[in-house]
Structure 1
């Protein structure tokens, strides 16, 4: 059963990555081009123009490079999601495969993507201080670890909250516990702002929304498509066993 779910997870991750690539191509790449254009204008303004050719052309980066990166990431994510789904199946109360898949995708998106990104949002390529890249990366992953740990603590406490306060009260208390932990961590972690003053706030906002949108498309597709496929597979398995 786990092997079959894993194969389906990998395939769903591949499908989801194609959708995410389409979103990135339409909404993300124009924002990347804006960041590169800003860097080139700054370099030209300071008279630091160079004729060094790029190792990989921009056209290659925006097509084959982007597609291969998204496909590898999405396929691996789909396989990992399937394994987590298999472990959680029949262990999360009276919830069907579709609901479980959607719930896992939502929880993972919030803990792994949304919350760390709210504290340390992405910047367009070529925009920001390259010397601070290591620090920003380290802080982002620390925030990610705190967010995942906080979600694990909240989920572990959920059953006790539900038993004491009922379903909706327990879910609310679980969400509040998670929010309190990550809010305290976010307040303690240092803020990093390396975006140049003259960079367009609109372009920065559009890039960050597009970056978050790519992840939202990927996780939504995995949660919904995998849930429907797993539901069908499990129903067929039950029927064949009768």
Structure 2
């Protein structure tokens, strides 16, 4: 029985990942290309400044040949990546569903799937995104990739642990202040814990490479490139482009989790109803046999009376 749930969870996760890819390919991919174009133009401007200052082609020698073309990266690469991510999230989701459904067998599958999908979206993506949002190419230094990855994973872990502690606190308070008030207090516990973590974890702009280039600005977004006289020779990164990329990234993830929640909820509800439909004909057959036996009993006893 559990395997049937697992297969369905992986299936809806895969479908959700593919739908998220299609959405991102249509709406977010153009902004990725714009960011790549900006990065190329800024590198060329930086190289021209370095050459004018007598530094030769400083900074231009790190370029490497692409293993995969841009077309492959933006189609097959992103598609396979998001499909694999959807499979992973679907597998994680179905494990959580099976564990919670055993604990609360009376909750309707659709409701439970929706609640778990919402919790997954908030804890695994939305809260970490609020602290460390997704960035397109050209935003962030290569030297900070490792630090950024560690900080993001830390924020995900804090968010998940905070959610678990909030649920435990809500269950403990339910018998004392009521279910509704306990749910509100559990939400407060969650936001307090993640708020404290966000305050303690450093902003990405405070990482060493960003501070070395931008000083006290505390940003990882490229600022205007200036020459020795302070004149702007290349603009900073477009704020509208950055906002739209991040906005469509959130919508893409929301689409994934909506697919998992609604899709798995519908499948789980049908699967949970199958045993009842199988048992119904047997129960009807047994009842009919009882009725026939009951109907036959008077006739067998009436026969001697008639004979007498």
TM-score by length of 1: 0.94
Gaps of at least 5 residues in structure 2 are 48-56, 206-219, 224-235, 281-308
CA distance in structure 1 between the aligned counterparts of 2:194 and 2:104, rounded to whole angstroms = 24
The alignment status of 1:231 with 2:231, answered yes or no, reads no
The alignment status of 1:189 with 2:201, answered yes or no, reads yes
| Counterpart position of 1:204 | 242
User: Where do 1:35-54 residues align within 5 Å?
Assistant: 35-47=35-47, 53-54=65-66
CA apart distance, 1:224: 0.7
| Counterpart position of 1:220 | 258
Q: Which of residues 161, 181, 197 in structure 2 aligns to 1:169? A: 181
| Counterpart position of 2:138 | 126
Pick 1 or 2: higher relative contact order, CA cutoff 8 A, min separation 6: 1
Say which is worse superposed, 149-158 or 76-85, in terms of deviation.
76-85
SS in 1 for 2:204: coil
User: Where do 1:1-242 residues align within 5 Å?
Assistant: 1-47=1-47, 53-92=65-104, 94-193=106-205, 194-197=220-223, 198-242=236-280
Q: In 2, are the aligned partners of 1:28 and 1:207 still within 8 Å (CA)? A: yes
CA distance in structure 1 between the aligned counterparts of 2:134 and 2:80, rounded to whole angstroms = 20
CA apart distance, 1:76: 2.4
CA distance in structure 1 between the aligned counterparts of 2:264 and 2:104, rounded to whole angstroms = 17
Gaps of at least 5 residues in structure 1 are none
| Counterpart position of 2:213 | none
CA apart distance, 1:90: 4.3
Bigger Cα Rg: 2
CA distance in structure 1 between the aligned counterparts of 2:16 and 2:87, rounded to whole angstroms = 8
SS in 1 for 2:103: coil
CA apart distance, 1:15: 1.3
Q: In 1, are the aligned partners of 2:21 and 2:82 still within 8 Å (CA)? A: yes
Q: In 2, are the aligned partners of 1:2 and 1:83 still within 8 Å (CA)? A: no
TM-score by length of 2: 0.75
CA apart distance, 1:148: 0.8
CA apart distance, 1:93: 6.9
Say which is worse superposed, 73-82 or 220-229, in terms of deviation.
73-82
- Structure 1 stretches of 4+ moved >6 Å: none
